[in-house]
Structure formats: structure tokens, C-alpha cells
Amino acid sequence: MKIKLKIWRQKNAKTKGIFVNYSLDDVSPEMSFLEMLDALNTKLIEEGGDPVAFDHDCREGICGCCSLYINGHPHGPGEKTTTCELHIRSFKDGETIVIEPWRAKSFPVIKDLIVDRNAFDKIIAAGGFISVGTGSASEANSILAKKEHADEAFDSASCIGCGACVAACKNASAMLFVSAKISQLALLPQGKVEAMERVEAMVAKMDELGFGNCTNTYACEAECPKGIKITNIARMNRHFIGAKIGSQIKQ
């Protein structure tokens, strides 16, 4: 297969970037998208050029490292797939593929297609945890959890923190990510204890870092590679209201 590529190249955070055209004449439809980029980079290195920088790690859709805004879709076309799970067979022979980094003020470009997603870590650090020593594993039945809640918490926990929701959202809102992280803890007994403080702290951090405000277009849900649902956002809003008007212990 032949493909044409239009890739965003940017030396570092300070310089201006531009689109550069490349073409690959001999890609197999069976190749994964990242393998295709590897092939491009090998070619660039052989020619003495600078390889395209892009994030990747597990290459099996579990780490959340890969990103890329491909032809108008975060993680490319195809539902519930990460870029690393995407294959060249999803594209037509001779097609031009436009590859851009996530675009959000809170995700500045570091180099080429790599953006700094530290903002997500900062939100987690603001409250996305349980502040008790866990010690050794306790008897499984000592804390009871409803099966439905456990299942929902698990679904929320499957968010890999990739940032596609921010990239897809016209407002660069991080609410799907934040609400998934809030839900995975708040749905279970151990996490419920600090649920109120957590939602306030994480939302405040999200605002401070300059993410946008959800206007309920649900682009995030449509593009999330893990199928995280907007019901998480409703839950976050609900908990937020509870935290604001509910009684709290004064320190």
C-alpha cells in the first residue's frame, strides 16, 4: 500500500511547528499504525533526518501513552481503539493521513507529536487517591461492596488517562477523565470515605490547570478508546453539589 503523510513537526516547546509531507510506498495493510511510523522513522534515520517523536509504550491499548489526532479523530478512526491498536487496513490505498498532536492549552507540545500530559498527574495528585496505609491484604469479605458498584467502578477505572477526551472536546474539557477517576474510587467503600473532599480538590485543580468547561456535546464519550461513559460526569456533578451543600467537618 502507498500512503501519504502530513505530520506536525515541532522542534521543542518554544519553537513554532509546521506540517511536513512524507510518503511511504511499501506499507502492509497488516501493519499497526505505530509500526508504520516506525518504518517512516527508520527511513528518516537512514536518510540522515530527524525521526518523528511520538508517545508509545505498551502498544496493546492499556497504558494510555499513545495519542495522535489522526484525520480529525483522536486515536484515529474506529471505535474504542487506541492509536497503537489501529491498523493501516483502516485507511485507503493512496490516502493522505494527517497526524497532529493533542491540541489543548493544558497539554503543551514538547516535540513533534508528543504533548506534556503532566496536568493529568497533577489532577490525580490533588485527590485521586485514598489516604490510608493499606498494610497487608485484609480478608476479602471484611468490607462488602455491591457487585453492581464494583462493576461500575471497574468500568470507570478502565480509563487509561490518554487525554483523547480533552483532544476531542471542542472546549478541551477534562471532565470525562476527572469524573472517571472520581467514580472509580467513590463507588467503592474504601473510596467513599473521602469522596466529597476528593471531588472538590480534583475539580479545583482541573480548573486551575486551564481545562475547558463541559458543554455536554459528548464528543469525549464518542472518542474515548475505553468507552468511558458520560454518566461518570453526571456522577461527578452530583457529588460536587453534595460536597458544596452537604455538611462537612470543619478543620
Partner 1 sequence: MIKSGLSISSITKKIIMALLGLFLIVFLLVHLGINLFILPICEDHAEMYTAAAHFMSTNWIVKVFEVILMAAFLIHIYYGIVLQIQNWIARGSIRYKSRNKTTTSFMSKYVIYTGLLIFMFLLLHFYNFYFIKLGLVSAPKAAKIPLPQEEHFYELIVWLFTNDMIFSIIYIIAFIVLGIHLKHAFEAAFQTLGLNHSKYTPVINAIGTIYSIIVPLGFIIIPVYFILFV
Q: Interface with ligand FES by CB under 6 A: which residues?
A: 56-59, 61-66, 82-84, 160
d(CA 176, CA 167): 11
Tell me how far CA of residue 13 lies from CA of 22, 74, 109, 111, 115, in angstroms: 23, 21, 6, 6, 9
Residue 32 beta carbon to ligand FES: minimum distance, rounded to whole angstroms:
10
* Angle, helix 147-157 to helix 175-186, in steps of 10 degrees: 150
| 211: contact with partner 1 by CB under 8 A | yes
Tell which positions 21-40 bind ligand SF4, by CB under 6 A: none
Instruction: List the helix and strand counts (H, then E) for the chain.
Output: 9, 7
Residue-wise DSSP of 218-242: -HHHHH-TT---THHHHHHHHHHHH
Interacting partner of 114 out of ligand SF4, ligand FES, partner 1, none (Cβ under 5 to 8 A depending on kind): none
d(CA 147, CA 40): 47
| 70: contact with ligand SF4 by CB under 6 A | no
Nearer to ligand SF4, 160 or 182 (CB): 160
| 212: contact with partner 1 by CB under 8 A | yes
Nearer to ligand FES, 57 or 207 (CB): 57
Interacting partner of 103 out of ligand FES, partner 1, ligand SF4, none (Cβ under 5 to 8 A depending on kind): partner 1
Which DSSP state fits 188? S
Tell which positions 54-83 bind partner 1, by CB under 8 A: 69, 71-73, 77
Interacting partner of 226 out of ligand FES, partner 1, ligand SF4, none (Cβ under 5 to 8 A depending on kind): ligand SF4
d(CA 98, CA 59): 21
Q: Identify any residues that bridge with 180 across adjacent strands, giving them in sequence order.
A: none
Among 119, 126, 176, 199, binds ligand SF4 (CB under 6 A): 176
Q: Identify any residues that bridge with 99 across adjacent strands, giving them in sequence order.
A: 7, 70
Interacting partner of 56 out of ligand FES, ligand SF4, partner 1, none (Cβ under 5 to 8 A depending on kind): ligand FES
Helix (H, G, I), strand (E, B) or coil at 5: strand
Q: What number of other Cβ atoms are within 10 A of residue 19's Cβ?
A: 12
Interacting partner of 165 out of ligand FES, partner 1, ligand SF4, none (Cβ under 5 to 8 A depending on kind): ligand SF4
d(CA 114, CA 54): 5
| 19: contact with partner 1 by CB under 8 A | yes
Among 37, 175, 180, 182, binds ligand SF4 (CB under 6 A): 180
| 17: contact with partner 1 by CB under 8 A | yes
Tell which positions 124-163 bind partner 1, by CB under 8 A: none
Chain contacts with ligand SF4 (rule: CB under 6 A): 159-165, 176-177, 180, 224-226, 228
